[in-house]
Structure formats: C-alpha cells, structure tokens
Amino acid sequence: MPNGTGPDKKTTDSSSVQQTGSVQIKIGDYGLRGEALSPMETLAQSVSTIAPTSTPAATIPLVAALAGNGTWLAYLLAMIAILLVAWCISRFARYSASPGSLYTYAAMILPPWLSAVAAWSLLLAYIATGSSVIGGFYHYANLLFVDVIGHGFSGAVLALIVTGVSVWIAWRDVKISARLMLWIEALSLLVILVVVALVLARHGLPVDPGQLHLTAMTGGGLRLGLVLALFSFVGFESATTLGAEARNPLKTIPRVVIESAVIAGLFFIVSAYSEVLGFHVAGQDLGTSEAPMHVLAGVAHVPALGILIDVGAAVSLFAGTLGCITAAARVLLLMAHNGLAHGALRTTHARNETPTFAVLATGFAAVLPVAVLAYRGSSGLDVYGWMGSLATYGFIVTYALVCAALPRYLRDHGAFRPGAQIIPWLAFVAMLSALVGNLYPVPEGPYGKLPYLYLVYLTAGLLWFFWQGRKASKA
C-alpha cells in the first residue's frame, strides 16, 4: 500500500498475527495505534456510543407512551434480544479483530454484495446515531441555557460546535477520546442512579402493583415499545471497531461486547421501572413529559439533581457524538482499504495514528442533516427521534447479517458445536421481527419516510460497489 503524500500522513496495511488454539488470526493495524487502549478504555467506546444517560431522559418516555406499565418488560425483552446478538458478535471477535468490526465479520462469510450491504448499513448506523445524539445535545444544552441565562442559542450553531470539538478529539488521540468518554459516562450514570435509588428508598419497598401486573398494557403497545427499546442499545458492539487499537483484542473485545450489553440492559430496566413508579407517585404521565428526570428528582426530594442530570445528559450526548465519529471513521477506513470508499479515506495521521480524512468525513456527514434541520426549526428531540430511527435500520440489518453468517464461520474455524446455530438463528429472527416492527404498521409523519430513505442510501452504496467491481474487472 503506498505511503501518503505528506509528512504527517500515511496509509499502511501492516499487520500482526496472533495464535488462538490451532487458528491464526491476522490483525491489520492500518496505520492506527496498536494496542493503545486498556480494557476499560475499550469498554468506554461501546458505552459512550450507547449514550445510556440519554435513555432515561429521552427514550424511556417514548417507550412508556406505548408500553405503559410494561415499559420495564419491553427493556427486559430488548436486553434478551441484544444479548443473543452480543453472543454472536463475541464469537466472531474471538477469532478476528480489525477496524471494520461487523462489516469484517460479514465479509468473511457472506457473498460480496451482502458484505457491502453490511458495510454501508453499519456506516449509516454510526453516522445517523451521531446525528441523533447531536440533536439530543442541542436540546439539553438549550434547556440548561434557559435555566441559567434565560434564553437558548441556535441549535445549528450548537450542533456545529459539539461536532467540531468531537472531530478534533477523535483526530487528536484515541486514548484521550476513550478516557474522556469513560469519565463522562461514569459520572452521568452515577447521578441518575442516585436519583433512582432515592425514589425507590423514599417509597418503601419498590413494589408497584400496576407494573408487576402489567395493568392496561396491550400486546401491540408492548411490541412497538420493544422496537423503540432496542434503539437504546444500538452501538453496544462499537468496541469491535477498535480491533487494531485495543490491547489483546481477541480477549478484551468479546468480553466488552457482552459487558456493555449487560450493563446497559440492567441500567435501562431499573431506570424504566423507577421512572414509571416515580410518575405514578407524582400523578403525571411519563409518556408526555419533556423533562422526566426533573419530575423524578422532585419525587426523590432532590430537585437540584434534576438540573445536574440535564448537565449529565448533555455531556453524555457529547460523549456519544465522539463515540459515533470514532467508530464510523474506522469502518470507513476499512471500507476504503477494501475499495468500497475513496482511497484517500484510508489515510492516517503519522503522529496521532488516527484516520484523518475518515474522521472529517464522518463528522461532516453526521452534523450536516442536523444543522439543516435545526436551521429549519426542528426541535432537538425530533432530530433525536428521526435520526435514531434511521440508524436503527442500519444496525438491525447488520446485526441480522452477522448472526446469519456465524454458523458457517464457526464451522470454518473448527469451533462449531451441536446446537451452535440455535442462538444465531434466534438472534436473526429477533432482528427480523424488530425490522418488521419498524415497518408495520407504517409509522406516521416523517418516520414513515425513513425506510425509503434507507433504501435509497443502500441502493446508492450497492451501485457504487457494482461500478467499482466492473472497473476492477476491466483493469
């Protein structure tokens, strides 16, 4: 692979080889900083991309509007489905590590055109999730500005600022990025858990008969709520994009994938149960609340923590922006190495050892729709919902393809056991069901246009793939 043209840029395809049992695993470094990240820093990548602090503030109320007293059950079922997918991803991660993560796993087994579907879907998923959390950031940032100085600022300007800072950190140093994300999420989660604990402690035994008996919950509401609950988890696998940068990736990454799903799932279930309980006590409707954590902090008799949670949510959404750009840039880097994107995008910085142009490209792609929507007057929560739903299509399709590819992959590596295909196909069916739940009944308003937007994007990606293949065959 040729070197870059400038003194601070390089493109490399050097690699190291690790031995696991009787299988050799080739790990390309692609010009990235090899084995730079500790297990905790690797975990921070997945946790920050999930942006768990935003779920109690923004997503759980949406699920509650559909599932009502079954909100906690929707999150429990979503956690089970995600753990099935996490098991499949962790099996791949035991034998392979690269910046392309799920795209790499699919490419090793599936036909080239299906691996291209996985690549473009995963790239969209990370970029659209980045757009979603940018929208959430300017919503919560303006809530804080109104509380402190009495007025907000342009959502478009705030979106550009948070993305610019995230791009700079992602370009500057992957270790700084990981450590910052780790501390931000840890502190934000701690504050929310304090409020949740106080709500449960101040009302005796945390028993809510309405929730335990699923009073007034409907099957249709639970199904739709489950689809939304799945969005809270997406990105849990993003540590796999650090395969060239994590220490001992073939052990660290499989463990981190499972840990991030479990940590997020337990946090979401407890938060969902406590929020619904708190709103029952307050006599308010969680499904229509614009500031649920303020209400919950009032129920816990610590109203000051409501503002602190808003601060934590804004900062967590900043960490989510950083995590999504970090993950998307590495997927795009590998796509460029494999001919699915322009060759310039495989360039890495010689000193920082980060994917220079891929970071810039993914940051620009994430902020552009948000800036346009914000300029046109769309609320941050609307942008959060729209772009998050678009991202869900990409994640669900990629998860399903990876799960379908696992049985043959295990067989090829001599690791197939009787019954090993049961979990992959259960996970595949769960993702397929989630996809159908996103499409039927047809969502109203802008949400109904998102499937077509995803299909147009995917068609463009496949046309590029076939055109590149035709050029290569003529060369």
pLDDT over 90 at 393, yes or no: yes
Query: Which residue type, as a one-letter code, is found at position 240?
Result: T
The number of C-alpha atoms within 13 Å of 373 and in the hemisphere containing its C-beta is 24
Q: What is the CA radius of gyration of the chain?
A: 22
How far apart are alpha carbons 160 and 363 in whole angstroms?
10
Note the pLDDT of residue 29: 53
Note the pLDDT of residue 331: 94
Note the pLDDT of residue 205: 57
Q: Lowest-pLDDT range, 232-246, 406-420, 449-463?
A: 406-420
Give residue for tokens 């809510």.
208
Q: Lowest-pLDDT range, 27-31, 34-38, 84-88?
A: 27-31
For residue 10, what is the enclosing H or E element?
A: strand 9-10
Query: Which residue type, as a one-letter code, is found at position 408?
Result: R
> Crossing angle of helices 174-201/249-282, nearest 10°?
30
Q: Torsion-angle region of residue 348: left (phi > 0), alpha (psi -120 to 50) or beta?
A: beta
pLDDT over 90 at 17, yes or no: no
Which of the four pLDDT bands, split at 50, 70 and 90, describes residue 404? very high
Query: Which residue type, as a one-letter code, is found at position 321?
Result: T
Buried b (16+ CB within 10 A) or exposed e, 320-353: bbbbbbbbbbbbbbbbbbbbbbeeebbbbbbebb
pLDDT over 60 at 55, yes or no: yes
pLDDT over 60 at 8, yes or no: no
Query: Which residue type, as a one-letter code, is found at position 55?
Result: T
Average pLDDT over residues 66-90: 95
Which of the four pLDDT bands, split at 50, 70 and 90, describes residue 3? very low
The CA distances from residue 213 to 209, 210, 358, in Å, are 6, 5, 50
How far apart are alpha carbons 364 and 344 in whole angstroms?
16
Whole-number mean pLDDT of the chain?
86
**348-349/23-28 β-pairing:** unpaired
Distance of CA 269 to the CA centre of its chain: 18
Average pLDDT over residues 298-324: 85
Note the pLDDT of residue 298: 87
How far apart are alpha carbons 180 and 159 in whole angstroms?
19
Q: Are residues 121 and 394 in contact, defined by beta-carbon separation less than 8 angstroms?
A: yes
Structure tokens at 45: 């990548």
| Cα four-point dihedral sign 239, 241, 245, 247 | positive
* Phi and psi at residue 16, to the nearest 5°: -120, 165
The CA distances from residue 238 to 101, 271, 406, in Å, are 8, 23, 18
How far apart are alpha carbons 294 and 249 in whole angstroms?
41
Name the residue among 303, 295, 286, 288 with its Cα closest to residue 211. Answer: 286
Structure tokens at 162: 């948070």
How far apart are alpha carbons 422 and 409 in whole angstroms?
14
**23-28/9-10 β-pairing:** unpaired
Note the pLDDT of residue 109: 92
pLDDT over 70 at 22, yes or no: no
